[in-house]
Structure 1
Amino acid sequence: MRTAFEYIDIADGCSIRVYHRQLQRIPFELHHHPEYELTLTLNSQGTRYVGDSVCHYADNDLVLVPPDLPHTWSSKRAIVEHRPQQAIVLWFGGEWARRLASCCPEFAPLLTLLRRAGCGLAFAADAAARACALRGKLLSPQPRQRLSAALELLCLLADADAQALASPGAFQPPSPGRPSGHQPERINRVLATIDACFAERLTPGRLAAAGNLSVRSLNRYFRQHLGESVGQYLARVRIGHACRLLADTAQPVSAIAGHVGFASIANFNRRFRAMKSMSPAAYRKAFREGGQATDGQALDRRPLSLERRGESRGR
């Protein structure tokens, strides 16, 4: 069965992403992504698919899925009728976890967890109960509180009782000529160009040439693999760099706009407000008053690559 690729967009200034979904039914949608995924499913029962593992699940289902392993949940009914079924999803990168463990001995359990998670893990009831106890912090509007709760939970799960799910044969290597990773190699070259030259004038033609693509194919590939247009992605990269300059320097907003590639301060302000729900000046003020600026990523917004397929289709 064909699986959908899910592009996980982690907000600038954040190490992880948390997604809180509430709906009447969890529909089947088999998908994969290069991040680790920890999912706590509440008030729901049905069938869980992880690789070649097909199991019944019920309330407080806590599962860790490794990168690029197809998975989905498909519910039959809510346990408590007339109340929404919920999924609290935590995404994080394996390289991020390994770097953290290498520089901070306190987080060495993360390495144990990654080693155990190779085929996916379904955790026992006591671990799920601990995850439930932390859900308030996991769903905090403040990125630092979410990160603190996530690290506490992941370290706790390193030695928690769990059942391995998929068999090693569930991982199928890419066929010859098919790119590995989460974007085709041509798109990777375009992304590398954007990362290196974001402050320059990047026309669609220049970016298309970097990937040996037509402009039409470039736009189509971005929509398909990243869930947004080239212009939206480029603006998000520039705004991310602007956020760091606003937080770390005293440069005027107008100067920062120019440094990150915006020729017009009006366009910069408009784009910034659209992405962060506040002006650049308000962002700087909020950050300096104790790091309380939000990350601009709503916890109830699904990743763009699946959101564009329609809410009727599932996680």
Structure 2
Amino acid sequence: MKPAYEHVDFGGDCSVRVYHRRLPRIPFEWHHHPEYELTLTMNSHGKRYIGDSVNEYEAEDLVLVPPDLPHTWASNRSIDPSSPQVAIVIWFDGDWARRMADCCPEYEPLRKLLRRAACGLAFEPPAGKWMRERLEQLLSSVARERLGAALDIMCTLADAPGQPLASPSAFNEASTGPSGHEPERINRVLSMIDARFAEPLRLSELCAAASLSERTLTRYFVQHIGESVGRYITRVRIGHACRMLVDTSLPVAVIAARSGFANVANFNRQFRAAKQATPAEYRRQFAAAGSPDKDVEARLTERSPSLQRKRKSTGGRNDEEMAGQYRA
């Protein structure tokens, strides 16, 4: 299932795009775009698909998605059936955020936020509740007030507890390999892993690439990546396998071999440990969600943001009610 490309139009005189969406259900629309996306979902529960991560979500779910990582939410029922489901979306450009940090020391936390969001980031429930209290400013009719609220939210979230979502390199478009934020020696190791993850990789080879001892490389990896070398390689391999499970109909045994696993039994064991599902079950989760509508790619490309067009039911009522969209 190939993700559709979404064109997000900021306009010529705005820094961020704020979107207020209300609808009776959230359809499965697997898509990606080159902007960061911060989404607060309210009065909704269903499944959230971020890269190769599939999770249940509840009210006031707050997630930051990095550029070009395929994603979607899917929900058929509101928590309160008498009210619509709501999504508050902030789109912003990573280069813009880094320039803000360059110019204004007060916005230095933006760098940390971008680093933490490399694999997608799901914030803990208090963060969603806190952001909900800021909606009056964020949805203001005054552009400067919206921009100020968005910057304050992003800087505050830089230190808010949260959990990474996708595996490194879960999808090639969103590879979280060399980023420029880690020391150059670590980046060389990440480059080697990204290029050769399907091959047997010896720690001695990685050490030679980084000109480091095994002990030093191990310490650097935990310090800068947050996990061991072996665990990182496994996550890269699992991420690649997830992409193939979603995008192709290849047999599981072929996917295991092409992802760097010597045998299917080990692949199944490692995959279940990482995803709490077998490879076949994981593939079915995407298939069960349903492919996007026939014209989803056209709709996402023609409109900014997605689902901007109101669709009419046979009874003439709006299937989707748009509460507003803003540029700041």
| TM-score above 0.5 | yes
SS of structure 2 residue aligned to 1:169: coil
**Counterparts in 2 of 1:57 and 1:12: CA distance versus 1, 3 Å:** same
Distance in 1 between the 2:17 and 2:91 partners? Answer: 5
SS in 2 for 1:64: strand
Q: SS of the residue aligned with 2:129?
A: helix
Give me the TM-score of the superposition, normalised by structure 1: 0.57
**Pair 35,309 (structure 1): closer, same or farther in 2 beyond 3 Å:** farther
Instruction: Report the CA distance shift for 1:148/1:129 in structure 2 as closer, same or farther (over 3 A).
Output: same
Shift of residue 85 of structure 1? 0.3
1:166 and 1:304 mapped to 2: Cα distance? 23
CA–CA distance in structure 2, aligned partners of residues 112 and 304 of structure 1: 26
Change (3 A) 1:304 1:79: closer
- Please identify runs of 4+ aligned residues in structure 1 that moved more than 6 A: 311-314
Query: Does the 8 A contact of 1:224 with 1:305 survive in 2?
Result: no
Is residue 39–residue 90 contact of structure 2 (8 Å, CA) maintained in 1? yes
CA distance in 1, matches of 2:320, 2:139: 23
* Residues 224 and 73 (structure 1), Cα distance of their counterparts in 2 relative to 1, 3 Å cut: closer
CA distance in 2, matches of 1:75, 1:304: 19
Deviations along 1:194-244, one digit per CA (max 9) or x if unpaired, are: xxxxxxxxxxxxxxxxxxxxxxxxxxxxx959945xxxxxxxxxxxxxxxx
* One-letter identity of the residue aligned with 1:303: S
Question: TM-score scaled by structure 2?
Answer: 0.55
What residue is the counterpart of 2:142 in the other structure? Answer: 142
1:105 is the counterpart of 2:105:
yes
Show the counterpart of 1:160.
160
Preserved CA contact (<8 Å) 1:20 1:89: yes
User: Is 1:71 matched up with 2:43?
Assistant: no
Structure 1 pair 227/52, CA: closer, same or farther in 2 (3 Å)?
closer
Within 5 A, what are the aligned runs for 1:162-201? 162-173=162-173
2:34 and 2:166 map into 1 onto residues whose CA distance is: 17
Letter in 2 for 1:12: G
* Residue in 1 that maps onto 2:19: 19
- Structure 1 residues 226 and 164, CA gap change in structure 2 (3 angstroms): closer
**Does the C-alpha gap of structure 1 residues 48 and 313 become closer, same or farther in structure 2, counting only changes over 3 Å?**
farther
CA offsets 1:62-99 (integer angstroms, 9 cap, x no match): 00000000000001311111100000000000000000
CA contact (8 A) 2:5 2:301 kept: no
Q: Is the 8 A contact 1:5 1:225 kept in 2?
A: no
Q: Pairwise CA RMSD of aligned residues?
A: 2.6
Q: Which residue of 1 aligns with 2:116?
A: 116
Q: Aligned-pair distance for 1:12?
A: 2.4
1:303 and 2:307 aligned? no
Quick check: 1:39 aligned with 2:39? yes
Partners of 2:172 and 2:307 in 1: CA distance: 22
Aligned residues: 194
Whichever residue aligns with residue 35 of structure 1, its letter is E
Structure 2: gaps spanning 5 or more residues? 175-296, 313-318, 322-328
Relative to structure 1, is the Cα distance of residues 24 and 225 closer, same or farther in structure 2, using a 3 angstrom cutoff? closer
Aligned pair in 2 of structure 1 residues 2, 15: CA closer, same or farther (>3 Å)? same
Partners of 1:309 and 1:5 in 2: how far apart?
20
Q: Contact 2:25–2:77 (CA<8 Å) still a contact in 1? A: yes
> In the alignment, does 2:49 pair up with 1:49?
yes
1:129 shift after superposition: 1.4
Q: Is the 8 A contact 2:22 2:320 kept in 1?
A: no
Give the residue type in structure 1 aligned to 2:14: C
2: distance between equivalents of 1:134 and 1:56?
Answer: 25
CA-CA distance at 1:51 after TM superposition: 0.2
Matches of 2:116 and 2:59, distance apart in 1: 23
Deviations 1:175-206 (A, max 9, x none): xxxxxxxxxxxxxxxxxxxxxxxxxxxxxxxx
Distance verdict in 2 for CA 1:20–1:313, change over 3 Å: closer
Q: Do 1:22 and 1:86's aligned partners in 2 also have CA atoms closer than 8 Å?
A: yes
Q: Deviations over 1:123-179 (max 9, x none)?
A: 0111111111111111111111110000000000001100100001312159xxxxx
Q: Aligned letter for 1:83? A: S
Residue identity over aligned pairs, in percent, reads 58
- Structure 1: give runs of 5+ residues left out of the alignment: 175-222, 229-301
Which residue matches 1:250? none
